[in-house]
Structure 1
Amino acid sequence: MKKMFSLAALLSVLTLGACNKEYLNPSTASQQQVDTSPDALIPLANGLQARFTTGGFVSVLYNTVAAGGLSTGELRVLNVGNVEEFNVSLGANSLNNANGIVRNLWTQAQLVRANADLVLQNAGNAPDAGTRSGIVAYASIFRALALGTLAQYFEQIPVVTQANAPFVDRVAVLRDAVAQLETAAAQLAATPASADFNARIVPGLDLANTLQALIARYSLMAGDYDKALAAAGRVDLTRRSVFNFDDNTRNPLFETSFGNRNVFEPTTAALGLTGALAPEAGDRRIPFYIRTGPPPAPPAAQPNLGSGFYTANNAAIPVYVPGEMLLIRAEAYARKNDLPSAVTELNRVRTKSTLPVAPQLGDIYGIAASLPPYAGPQTADAILLDILRNRYVELAYQGFRLEDSRRFGRPGPGMTGAERNRNFYPYPRVERENNPATPADPAN
């Protein structure tokens, strides 16, 4: 993946909107001079991944993990000199529209979305049908990841690139992302990606399965349970789809945080979970996500408590994990009041082993609770609570906890036993200063 780093330079030339303010405004239109041949489109598609995943503290991946974890007590700041992260961990009015996490999350995701739209608008110029379908699938994936990430933190989001871009409600944004994913999935099914495309794109993503996984993820967030069920059921749980890294294009969470003890780490060995949400005794996912060995002898440095997918510069990060798809199905069934089916899917997660014998029994990444089947009350509330507890453990520090806390109706800001310090984030100053259509900031 070393070639991906150099492609970031190409992407930076093609990003949108220079203005006389301090930062780029991704919602401001500018003239584009883009070679629309496949020789330019495929590198530009590669650049989408570069912007989403790499760049350390600037990357979308870093900022969504930091935001989701620090807003919910999943992560704790180790050094209050990291002012931006510390203010996210305080939440409330301490998290304002000048915050760097808020700004980077917004601007980088919007730049990914804008450049994905540019690729999609010009994909028809690729003369080969297989190359076109590959380009459309790849750009649709990163467009959806960008919009879906923004919808986890902001109430409204612009989805077009123009001056004074209008804002759209987050549920409509999620549906927009799903519609594009469905179009790409149909095109890819009709015409698989060409050998030429596959040879020139950064390896790691399983296009067909990732399209379905993201349809499932964002349909669930939008409340479309039937669509989420169907799409999650189409994902082959024995196939990996990952963002690859190396010593040049580094795993952004290991590089910035999990490779040291200066920025943040898991709040506790129980992932910051207490009470009814605390991990069950013997849950073997905890040793996967938490360093459980004895501390090193002095003067060796104490390692970060966090582990999981952030263990080295070259550690791959999954786009989704199999357990997410199973828990999407469990939640969708529970919200449709099909409780027996919900428990069946929940048990596929609870009883997973580390041996990848079959999707029902093993996990390709070794994320395996090895717990007994669910034995709690056969009520929607009780089953949903266990689904949430398993989401919190199965998907530890992957950026979903704020969205999950809100969707499951957990106590929020100002409530007794609050489990999150914000419901939604304020809009960054860069957007407000350049776009008069920016809505009022949420109260909390």
Structure 2
Amino acid sequence: MKRYFLLLSLLALSLGSCNKEYLNPSSASETQVLTSSDGLITVCNGLQYRYTTGGALSVLYNTVAAGGLTTRELTIINVGNIEEYNVSLGAGNLTNSNGVVRNLWGQAQLVRANADLVLLNAGNAPDAGTRSGIVAYASIFRALALGTMAQYFEQAPLTTGENAPFVPRVQLLQSAVTQLEAAATQLATTPASTDFNAKIVPGIDLPNTVQALIARYSLQAGDYDKALAAAGRVDLTKRSVFNFDDNTRNPLFEVAFGNRNVFEPTDVNLGLTGALAPEANDKRIPFYTRANPTATQNRGTGFYTVAGAPIPVYVPGEMLLIRAEAYARKNDLTNAVTELNRVRTSSSAATVTSTNLPTAPPGAGLPAYAGPLTQDAILTDILRNRYVELAFQGFRLDDSRRFSRPGPGTTGAERNRNFLPYPRVERENNSSTPTDPTI
């Protein structure tokens, strides 16, 4: 991305006052925004706004669409939605002019670039606690942006500038983790200040979210020891969510799950068959789907039921399944099954907010794992539980690759792409853009 695009984005995130509203555009200059605590907090709030809101423009919407439509988790209702329809067809039908690809890439890169600006200028916040909160918050959204890019693209830029070089996806994940670790150290030394907490959009638990994302992206990068340790540091009783209301609307409800026009879950089995099909009486399935929707109801539910429904940054079960997978890949099968069973046998009710809207799915209520004590069998059950526990949260394409499930062009293919093509707008403005992947 060229710098003038970045500056236009930054100025669009400026606030006239530092309250808990996301946006109130003003004519503040870059210097004014980045040289004061209030200005930096303003841009932090803007990071969440760009990542989560804007309906079909948002990173949240496009990661759910791309992850679900490429893996048969979701199915198209109306083929007139040509961008999403072509994602569902995959292979050569998904070109670099596709709107889902363009929005996923462009919005994530803007979040990453503006987070980098905040981190570069965080020293302009004189109070140590406020500075600590700013660094943690920007680090979280930088990691979310880089992690999203790594889930869908083989390579991406880590920097902003003319013809910014691309780096391999694992390097994106490692960079995200390194910055999160620095933020965790800073938070441990100096917790976020009361002033920061009063002015930032509420919902994100900084210390636990930092550790959860270290765990998520370390696992995806193949650093199993780091993933185990970070997931174990997350307090599973705490919740971290993106909040919405009638003005800043839940993008998945707004565009898809609140109607029958775009897409919905493929079926109550989430499009899964064979060894990956959900087990009978899994209590998470009726949380995520309607078995018998009316003619006007979308089959999907979960975290996308009303305009103001919060969307979790992570759910507790993800941390347990990260630990289970990391142990299994280290061939510590006893501990892998122990962590897996914490998810399988949980009988907890869905965790809800004070407004009675869910922030985590209910426990599966299943019996303990009774399959073969082999690495392959245990990993298959971990994947099945990831597909259910994390339904419609954008992880399925990356999971399918990581678990070496049948890919496009093979018998029993479970995904129609391995990676997305690079958007045309990037190729036209950045001569460093690599050749598009074939599939």
Q: Which residue of 1 aligns with 2:342?
A: 348
Tell me the CA shift for residue 5 of structure 1: 4.0
Q: Which residue does the alignment assign to 1:113?
A: 112
Q: Which amino acid aligns with 1:369?
A: A
> Counterpart in 1 of 2:333?
339
Which of 410, 417, 424 is the aligned partner of 1:422?
417
Distance 2:32 2:66 in 1: 35
Equivalent residue, structure 2, for 1:393? 388
Partner of 2:372: 377
Q: Is 1:2–1:246's contact at 8 Å kept on the other side of the alignment?
A: no
- Find the partner of 1:368 among 363, 368, 376: 363
Q: Which amino acid aligns with 1:220?
A: L
CA distance in 1, matches of 2:394, 2:274: 22
Which residue number in structure 2 is paired with residue 27 of structure 1?
A: none
TM-score, length basis structure 1: 0.91
Three-state SS of the structure 2 residue aligned to 1:117 is helix
- Tell me how far 1:6 sits from its aligned partner: 2.0
Q: Map 1:96-175; keep pairs closer than 5 Å.
A: 96-175=95-174
Q: In 2, distance between residues paired with 1:54 and 1:177?
A: 22
Give the Å deviation of 1:103. 0.2
1:326 is aligned, of 312, 320, 330, to 320
Deviation at 1:137, TM superposition (A): 0.2
Quote the residue 2:227 is aligned against: 228
SS at match of 1:131: helix
For the residues of structure 1 that align with 2:359 and 2:80, how far apart are their CA atoms?
38
Classify the secondary structure of the residue corresponding to 1:6: coil
Q: Deviations over 1:140-159 (max 9, x none)?
A: 00000000000000000101
Tell me, in whole angstroms, the C-alpha distance in 2 between the residues paired with 1:160 and 1:68.
25
Give the Cα separation in 1 of the matches to 2:32 and 2:96: 32
Q: In structure 1, what residue type is equivalent to 2:347?
A: S
Which letter maps to 1:65? Answer: V
- 1:28-51: CA deviation from partner (whole Å, max 9, x where unpaired): xxx977441012110100000000
In 1, distance between residues paired with 2:330 and 2:142?
29
Q: Structure 1 residue 131: deviation in Å?
A: 0.2
| Match in the other structure for 1:73 | 72
Deviation at 1:365?
2.6
Other-structure match for 1:24: none
Partner of 1:22: none
Distance 1:170 1:365 in 2: 29
Q: Tell me, what secondary structure is at the counterpart of 1:150?
A: helix
Alignment-derived partner of residue 9 in structure 2: none
1:412 has 2:412 as partner: no
**Other structure's SS at 2:253 match:** helix
What's the offset of the Cα at 1:338?
0.1
Partner in structure 2 of residue 211 of structure 1: 210
Equivalence for 2:302: 308
Deviations 1:231-278 (A, max 9, x none): 000000000000000000000000000000000000011100011100
Q: Write the letter of the residue equivalent to 1:305.
A: R
Identify if the C-alpha distance between structure 1 residues 295 and 58 changes in structure 2 by more than 3 Å, giving closer, same or farther.
Answer: closer
Give unpaired runs (5+ residues) of structure 2: 1-17, 352-357
**1:91 and 1:421 in contact (8 A); partners too:** yes
| CA drift at 1:295 | 4.4
- Determine if contact 1:213/1:231 at 8 Å carries over to the other structure: yes
**Following superposition of structure 1 onto structure 2, how do residues 276-315 of structure 1 map, counting pairs within 5 Å?**
276-292=275-291, 294-296=292-294, 301-315=295-309
2:177 aligns with 178
Q: Secondary structure at the match of 2:75?
A: strand
Q: Is the 8 A contact 2:136 2:187 kept in 1?
A: yes
CA distance in 2, matches of 1:364, 1:52: 18
Cα deviations across residues 171-229 of structure 1 (Å, max 9, x unaligned)?
01100000000000000010000000000000000000000000000000000000000
Gaps of 5+ in 1: 15-30, 358-362
Provide the identity percentage: 75
| Counterparts of residues 41-80 of structure 1 (less than 5 Å) | 41-80=40-79
Structure 1's consecutive aligned runs of 4 or more residues displaced over 3 angstroms after TM superposition are 1-5, 31-35
Residue 215 of structure 1 aligns with an amino acid whose one-letter code is I
User: Could you tell me how far apart the structure 1 residues matched to 2:75 and 2:19 are?
Assistant: 32
Partner of 2:23, secondary structure, is helix
- CA shift, 1:2, in A, is 9.4
- TM-score, scaled relative to structure 2: 0.92
Partner AA of 1:67 in structure 2: A
Q: How far apart are the structure 2 equivalents of 1:355 and 1:82?
A: 36
Structure 1 counterpart of 2:371, one-letter code: G
Instruction: Report what 2:8 is aligned to.
Output: none
Kept in 2, the 8 Å contact 1:2–1:248? The answer is no
Q: Distance in 1 between matches of 2:40 and 2:331?
A: 46
How many residues are treated as equivalent by the alignment?
416
Q: Which residue of 2 aligns with 1:249?
A: 248
